[in-house]
Structure 1
Amino acid sequence: MTSTEIAPPVRGARLRPSGKPNGQWLVDGKEPLNGNEEWKQADGGLSVRERIESTYAQGGFASIDPTDLHGRFRWWGLYTQRKPGIDGGRTATLEPHELEDEYFMMRIRLDGGQLSTEQLRVIADVSVEFGRGTADITDRQNIQLHWVRVEDVPEIWRRLEAVGLSTTEACGDVPRVVLGSPVAGIAVDELIDPTAQIEEITSRFIGDESLANLPRKFKSAITGHPSHDVVHEINDVAFVAVEHPELGIGYDVWVGGALSTVPRLGERLGAWAAPDQVAEVWHGVAQIFRDYGYRRLRNKARLKFLLADWGVERFRDVLETEYLGYRLADGPAAPKPLTPGDHVGVHAQKDGLFYVGATPIVGRTSGENLGKLADLIEAQGSSRLRLTPHQKIVVLDIPKENVEPLIQGLDELEFSARPSLIRRGTIACTGIEFCKLAIVNTKDNAREAIFELEKRLDGMDLRAPLSLNVNGCPNSCARIQTADIGLKGQIITDDEGNQVPGFQVHLGGGLASSEREEAGLGRTVRGLKVAADGIADYVEKVATRYVAGRVDDETFAQWAHRAAEEELR
């Protein structure tokens, strides 16, 4: 037995302590406490699709209702993008309508990062025809396009859905894409293939009206691979494969992780979920968030804040008594990873074929390149690829004799299967080029830094990829607090007293990996900031000091946490 049945709960019996209501539905009732909650209750985000197709696509951008534009469109993967020419210093001073252009970012949802070459070619064609050739591979296993007009959205949906793709709930206060191991079902060392669990979650609950009004975004991850390749510690709910000494292979359950301006790593519930319990547990956690999550203040509305107040013991008790109706088995923690989780390089599959992980430079590519990538993969005998939570791609099912031709073709498309350690370890968010929240250009600055550092660090014994995460604002889409070197975009004052784009520096963060025992957040050094055009100078300096000052097999993160502040400047 993996569980014990318990008596039905008295729902909503947990009373609010004295003080202001937090908008918890089962404590305070459903009266909306802010404008976002009002419009979500008045008309849910999923409803806007009909208006996009019947009204806005015909009437154009000017016909869009403002609440739909700035709210409900997100439920279908659409954000207005930043108007060109607005510098980062004005990001916080202008209203949304002043910052936005009459074009959209469109996020294509790829649960588990799984793609066929047929699907990839459709995305490529959509990018070229409707998105000015733009295509970014994100660290959430999605692909984002830009320059999309509302007039073209219905046709884009038609083409995507014809091959089994969608943008449903790719953004908004909903269950976002479910991260999954990029090597699910093929890796020799995999404990369990989580594909069936991902498919059950997405088929049952994505687009479900009962979960389409959560307090904020809800992020999920599940992996059956011992490398812990889905950044589980920074998801609202996550499942990590582990072998129970009595019950066999199942999943260790984590809850409450998220970064942004108030980072908090997830925590183990101490519970073990059998494969056939995963969807129920996922649903239970999502319902806890819906019913008990804080809705009064949006900056306090993520699940991590509820977990911080409740604690793991109470959270598990509510999950089991009010939502599951049975006790989960206690379970062990998953062992420390022994291999990197980005899957870069050439690896044997369990069927005798090979998978090849490759690095696009900070996730930036193009529709034309995606089309060529589909052609290349098919020419080398495959029709499958995966995206990773590290802005990488993994090509599956390659015969041994085709591995080197594939790698050569990938290099020509700037997808390197044998990248430098700095190229392999660098990711970047969208940045000021398209994002209305951004202050600094990320993709171009990171790309230029990579090329420069590949020359300067050539021959330096870093031992492992140096993770350099570049973010255009404080919100940490590029996970700045969990990088060796995390850069948070802001306006800084240079040596001449000028206000220029730059970054605050975070050092020594990371998630559990083959290089570190456990996840931890980076440290900041008072006053340590780097100009946007000075990334390479700073990284070279701090990497050189690390190599000279490390002790034995000390990692960069370990060194950065013990080093004196003057060594880190």
Structure 2
Amino acid sequence: MTESSTSGAAAPPGSVRPHLVKRHRGEGQWAKGHFTPLNPNEQAKKDDDGLNVRARIENIYAHRGFDSIDGQDLRGRMRWWGLYTQRRPGIDGGKTAVLEPHELDDEYFMMRVRIDGGQLTVAQLRAIGQVSAAYARGTADVTDRQNIQLHWVRIEDVPAIWKILEAVGLQTTEACGDTPRAMLGSPVAGVAKDEVIDATPALEELKRRFVGSKEFSNLPRKFKTAVSGMQDVVHEANDVSFVGVVHPEHGPGFDVWVGGGLSTNPQFAKRLGVWVPLEEVGDVWAGICGIFRDYGYRRLRNRARLKFLVADWGAAKFREVLESEYLHRTLIDGPPPPFVPATQRDHVGVHEQKDGRYYVGFCPRVGRIDGATLGRVADLAEAVSSDRVRTTPDQKMLILDVPGDRVEWLVGELKTLDLQVRPSVFRRHTMACTGIEFCKLAIVETKALASDTIDELEKRLPDFDTPITLNVNGCPNSCARIQTADIGLKGQLVQDANGDQVEGFQVHLGGHFGADAESEDASGAGSTGSFGRKVRGLKITAAELADYVERVLRNYQADRRAGESFAAWTARATEQQLS
């Protein structure tokens, strides 16, 4: 589907007839004639498509250096190629919201390598490790969007990095920006015994047709996609998700969800109630993305995500517009996916594939790894005759296709790299965002604190075996999905016992995806989950994090009923028990 052939889609701003332009500002919806840019971001995108900045990077900025970069390119369009300036060292969290962008900018970049579906070959993983070691001071973070982020990248080195990555089929195209970001997919697509359908062909089609296409390179905000034949891609929190489901008449296909997102205004996605066959995923995705492009709110960036449009319209109207204006046909009604506990989604451990071989899932510590270790993981995969490595939406990694007689050898070798296949519940279920070390939006440090907390909890609660998710975020934007964690921590400045302002967190308790067996319909009929409970006035300092988590978990152990989950317990616990 192209923009010019889409009924209801907007023509480029320069071609609009004057009498069609609304005199009022509205919400900035192109489909309603609101083409006048209403904020600096929209003006920058109107001035030049973000995809065009690559030529300037290669031909000008890489030769003339950081100071030659145009401001709109530096803090806007370069994101279309996976580049953000990172935070200048030494700036404390109290200055995050008060300094001007140029005061926060370091002369180095974070570079996000796009890994759709988390799918990597050994050669690709080795190439990322090579780039990390040569150009990024050895840094590498596995993200909860299945990407790998590098830091300390110089603008002078970007063309050389692209050359290495693209030689093995990797890219940074639209890894950031107001674009279709990297698309989540099951890391065990095609090999899992319990998947409904292998979604790999759909992901490959979406990437081939739409990534880097100017049809969708100017969206109101970022657009997050998940496509999986099973429930392992947090489909409840994406702008659009296709979830494997079996239709009683038509067989395996996908249930479609729209309008999910967390950040400061969290909303679970809503089911459209349709069943889509594998071969139609691309067209339906394009229709949904087209609605976002044309009807999305462009006036205020804090209301520009698709979730706000879906909340205003409702699922029924959204489906009607999709069918009548974009697909020009009626979609098939379909059933919801069955209930699957969220604790079964991360694929850590040793699991048999449907072909009799095994996949081995392991835990980089809160997603942090380094280039040399990535190279060693590539070597280990090659040593067990595998050419398939995967990243997950939980900051984990997998090696597929491992022969049964090589599994324990591989587990042992990974352990020597501090990559645990059989980790503690704390190592397995703790996530952390980038934090103040590199992120210009962050208020507090996250990665090192989360890692240290894991060590402390393993010492203090060595026999604790109930899965508890602990998600640590450096600001309110919820890159680490704090609202849907058992213990979610939102970074902010707090007062310690002496009245001094220090790094700390607001606490969210009992959040989760999917139905909770104790309190909801376990059939999972469209169940999305629950956001965590906030206890009034409950804030903790970073220094007391381990003490707090230990205290709450001991209270849970002492008071829980038989089989009661932590999430269910927090819903009935007293504020004193949770404090």
> Normalising by the residue count of structure 1, what TM-score does the alignment of the two structures yield?
0.96
Task: Please name the residue that 1:411 is paired with.
Answer: 415
From 477, 480, 485, the equivalent of 1:478 is: 480
Task: Please name the residue that 1:326 is paired with.
Answer: 329
Could you tell me how far 1:549 is from its partner in structure 2? 1.2
| Deviation by residue 1:351-379 (Cα, 9 ceiling, x = unmatched) | 11100111111000100111111111111
In structure 2, how many angstroms separate the alpha carbons of the residues matched to 1:252 and 1:415? Answer: 35
Task: Please name the residue that 2:237 is paired with.
Answer: 234
In structure 1, how many angstroms separate the alpha carbons of the residues matched to 2:452 and 2:517? Answer: 27
Task: Please name the residue that 2:532 is paired with.
Answer: 522
1:84 maps onto 2:89 in alignment: yes
Task: Please name the residue that 2:16 is paired with.
Answer: none
Task: Please name the residue that 2:262 is paired with.
Answer: 259
In structure 2, how many angstroms separate the alpha carbons of the residues matched to 1:515 and 1:530? Answer: 30
- SS of residue matched to 1:121: helix
CA gap of 1:102–1:243, structure 2 versus 1, over 3 A, is: same
From 397, 401, 411, the equivalent of 2:401 is: 397
Task: Please name the residue that 2:562 is paired with.
Answer: 552
- SS of residue matched to 2:538: strand
From 458, 461, 465, the equivalent of 2:462 is: 458
From 376, 384, 390, the equivalent of 1:380 is: 384
Task: Please name the residue that 1:507 is paired with.
Answer: 509
Could you tell me how far 1:318 is from its partner in structure 2? 0.2
Contact kept, 8 Å, 2:8 with 2:31, in 1: the verdict is no
In structure 2, how many angstroms separate the alpha carbons of the residues matched to 1:137 and 1:293? Answer: 30
From 474, 481, 488, the equivalent of 2:490 is: 488
| Deviation by residue 1:16-58 (Cα, 9 ceiling, x = unmatched) | 9997511000113311111111110110100000000000000
Could you tell me how far 1:553 is from its partner in structure 2? 1.4
1:243 maps onto 2:253 in alignment: no
Could you tell me how far 1:552 is from its partner in structure 2? 2.0
Could you tell me how far 1:381 is from its partner in structure 2? 2.0
Task: Please name the residue that 1:497 is paired with.
Answer: 499
Task: Please name the residue that 1:283 is paired with.
Answer: 286
From 64, 79, 83, the equivalent of 1:74 is: 79
Contact kept, 8 Å, 1:441 with 1:472, in 2: the verdict is yes
Task: Please name the residue that 2:542 is paired with.
Answer: 532
- SS of residue matched to 1:322: helix
- SS of residue matched to 1:269: strand
One-letter amino acid of the structure 2 residue matched with residue 488 of structure 1: K
Task: Please name the residue that 1:302 is paired with.
Answer: 305
From 199, 203, 221, the equivalent of 2:204 is: 199
Contact kept, 8 Å, 1:336 with 1:514, in 2: the verdict is no
| Deviation by residue 1:186-243 (Cα, 9 ceiling, x = unmatched) | 1112211100000001100011101000000000001112xx1000000000010000
| Deviation by residue 1:267-293 (Cα, 9 ceiling, x = unmatched) | 101111111111111111100000000
Could you tell me how far 1:125 is from its partner in structure 2? 0.6
| Deviation by residue 1:262-320 (Cα, 9 ceiling, x = unmatched) | 00010101111111111111111100000000000000000000011101110000001
Indicate the percent of aligned positions where both proteins have the same amino acid: 60
Task: Please name the residue that 1:269 is paired with.
Answer: 272
Task: Please name the residue that 1:4 is paired with.
Answer: none
In structure 2, how many angstroms separate the alpha carbons of the residues matched to 1:16 and 1:499? Answer: 50
- SS of residue matched to 1:527: coil
- SS of residue matched to 1:542: helix
Task: Please name the residue that 1:365 is paired with.
Answer: 369
In structure 1, how many angstroms separate the alpha carbons of the residues matched to 2:427 and 2:26? Answer: 48
One-letter amino acid of the structure 1 residue matched with residue 482 of structure 2: I
In structure 2, how many angstroms separate the alpha carbons of the residues matched to 1:512 and 1:18? Answer: 45
In structure 2, how many angstroms separate the alpha carbons of the residues matched to 1:10 and 1:414? Answer: 54
Contact kept, 8 Å, 2:31 with 2:295, in 1: the verdict is yes
RMSD: 1.6
> Normalising by the residue count of structure 2, what TM-score does the alignment of the two structures yield?
0.94
**Greater shift in the superposed pair: 186-195 or 476-485:** 186-195
In structure 1, how many angstroms separate the alpha carbons of the residues matched to 2:570 and 2:541? Answer: 20
From 197, 215, 218, the equivalent of 2:223 is: 218
- SS of residue matched to 2:536: strand
| Deviation by residue 1:426-446 (Cα, 9 ceiling, x = unmatched) | 000000000001011100000
1:51 maps onto 2:56 in alignment: yes
- SS of residue matched to 1:361: coil
In structure 2, how many angstroms separate the alpha carbons of the residues matched to 1:394 and 1:98? Answer: 40
| Deviation by residue 1:51-97 (Cα, 9 ceiling, x = unmatched) | 00000000000110011000000000000001111111111111111
In structure 1, how many angstroms separate the alpha carbons of the residues matched to 2:485 and 2:280? Answer: 33
- SS of residue matched to 2:513: coil
CA gap of 1:135–1:513, structure 2 versus 1, over 3 A, is: farther
In structure 1, how many angstroms separate the alpha carbons of the residues matched to 2:138 and 2:303? Answer: 37
In structure 2, how many angstroms separate the alpha carbons of the residues matched to 1:443 and 1:319? Answer: 41
Task: Please name the residue that 1:150 is paired with.
Answer: 155
One-letter amino acid of the structure 2 residue matched with residue 472 of structure 1: G
In structure 2, how many angstroms separate the alpha carbons of the residues matched to 1:149 and 1:514? Answer: 47
In structure 2, how many angstroms separate the alpha carbons of the residues matched to 1:278 and 1:120? Answer: 28
